[in-house]
Amino acid sequence: MAKQEIPYKIYLSEDELPKKWYNIKAAMKSQHEPFLNPATGKPCTADDLRPVFCDECIEQELNCTDLYIDIPEEIRNFYKMYRPSPLVRAYCLEKALGTPAEIYYKFEGNNTSGSHKLNSAVAQAYYAKKQGLKSITTETGAGQWGTALSMAAAYFDLDLTVYMVKVSGEQKPHRREVMRTYGANVILSPSDTTEAGRKILREFPGTGGSLGCAISEAVERAVTSDSCRYVLGSVLDHVVLHQSVIGLESKAAMEKYGVAPDMIIGCCGGGSNFGGLIAPFMGDKIAGKNDIEFIGVEPASCPSLTRGRYAYDFCDSARITPLAKMYTLGCGFMPSANHAGGLRYHGMSPIVSKLYHEGYMRAVAVEQTKVFEAAQMFARIEGILPAPESSHAIRVAIDEALRCKETGEKKKILFGLTGTGYFDMSAYKQFNDGTMQDTIPDDAALERGFATIPQVQENI
Ligand SMILES: *Cc1c(COP(=O)(O)O)cnc(C)c1O
């Protein structure tokens, strides 16, 4: 029989939507170090986390043994409104590059929030509802996470308060309106609604706020309000678990046509989309069933994997969260202005950090102007206007495809296209105007960040 022609878009049917998430930790030979309670220096117990996070998310966070975890019917029903997401064969891009490589991308921007973040937002909102909670709270910087969570909270009829970094709220008033349309209470941070916010306002009147401050405000609200919990859009293991739906669908779609990827590329902010995209493929690699090359891509302005330290650090700049062993630039590291807001994070998922540390994947840092060149090319050739974050993966996919052109290798490249860039037009404007600049921290700037990593006694 002739080999089946691969369509431009490989769709899975509703029945093929995964029924279980893939818990990569159960496939790993060794686990990442436990989260530490900063007050005691001892590993966090479920009880330590209970005032802050939903019970079911804590269970998932600490689960290292079940390879598959059921996706509840209610969550699958929401997923069905926008999933399975398409896996696209980038025929037009291949042709434009003149590469013998095959390029595939998994597109997660096909929902109103415009990114993959909805996959975890809906799961976390569901578990809050199931636990009988009335409200949830979070912070948002660029706005993608807040938007995704607003949609999920509306669906499950939960009150949601989003602390939005003041400068972002002012720069992106439309983002804020989308969230309010879905019913979220959006408070610009710092605000006078929390002790943390009032303190910052007293000390720095007129400040534009920061993600660290917004996190402090949201966590304070969660622990001081009845029936309220805090939810987080990346970094933590349960978020990576929820995002495994991306990898499971990609694997199923490729297997339908007998395609086995040689290389998988994704952008890394907190590491959740990348961790979820690679999860089932990485599990097979650990079991010796494939030899896929995994590449995490980060901005040169915020290079936690390629230039960071593997150390215990706070997950937030306000130094209130548990300590995680991860690749970090230091919780006090201030990345320079970079338009990929979703990638401006000082640390990295402990799961992704561990895989990187053990040599199962590599990482590449790319400069902003090169990223936007790739974004513009992709928009013109493949039609989709990509998010700046996603465009980091596009850049490296293009570079790898061009390398194949030189060597004649017919590699099969899969990359994650995490979202669309409609709210990032001021960044595109700078690029189009030719005023965009690359800022790469020098070693002294990195040292200043490393100095903010707390001293932690290891091997407790
Ligand atoms: C938030 C975001 C990212 C980065 O987050 P991860 O947790 O690293 O996945 C990437 N792309 C888009 C479009 C985002 O909104």
Ligand 1 nearest-atom number relative to CA 420:
13
Q: Residue 194 and residue 139: Cα distance in Å, rounded? A: 13
Nearest residue to 260 via CA among 289, 296, 295: 289
Partners of residue 89 on adjacent β-strands: 104
Contact predicate 116/273, CB 8 Å: yes
The residue whose CA is least distant from atom 13 of ligand 1 is 419
What was the pLDDT predicted at 339? Answer: 78
Query: Residue for token digits 């302005």?
Result: 301
Cβ–ligand 1 contact at 115 (below 6 Å) = yes
Region of residue 273 (phi > 0: left; psi between -120 and 50: alpha; otherwise: beta): alpha
Contact predicate 230/239, CB 8 Å: no
Confidence check: pLDDT of 2 > 60: no
Q: Which of 105, 108, 117 to mutate to test the pocket of ligand 1 (most atoms within 8 A of CB)?
A: 117
Q: Residue 328 and residue 50: Cα distance in Å, rounded? A: 26
Query: Residue for token digits 């499950």?
Result: 156
CA–centroid distance for 367 within its chain: 19
Tens digit of pLDDT for each residue in 95-121?
999 999 999 999 999 999 999 999 999
Assigned token pair, 40: 């005691």
Tens digit of pLDDT for each residue in 243-301?
999 999 999 999 999 999 999 999 999 999 999 999 999 999 999 999 999 999 999 99
The residue whose CA is least distant from atom 10 of ligand 1 is 389
Tens digit of pLDDT for each residue in 330-382?
998 888 777 777 788 899 999 999 999 999 999 999 999 999 999 999 999 99
Contact predicate 124/56, CB 8 Å: no
Peptide bond into 84 cis (omega under 30): yes
Ligand 1 nearest-atom number relative to CA 271:
8
pLDDT band at 1 (very low <50, low <70, confident <90, very high): very low
Contact predicate 290/281, CB 8 Å: yes
Nearest residue to 124 via CA among 88, 163, 85, 150: 150
Cα separations in angstroms, 446 against 304, 350, 453: 10, 20, 11
Q: Residue 96 and residue 106: Cα distance in Å, rounded? A: 19
Peptide bond into 51 cis (omega under 30): no
Q: Is the dihedral of CA 121, 127, 128, 132 positive or negative?
A: positive
Partners of residue 36 on adjacent β-strands: 43, 323
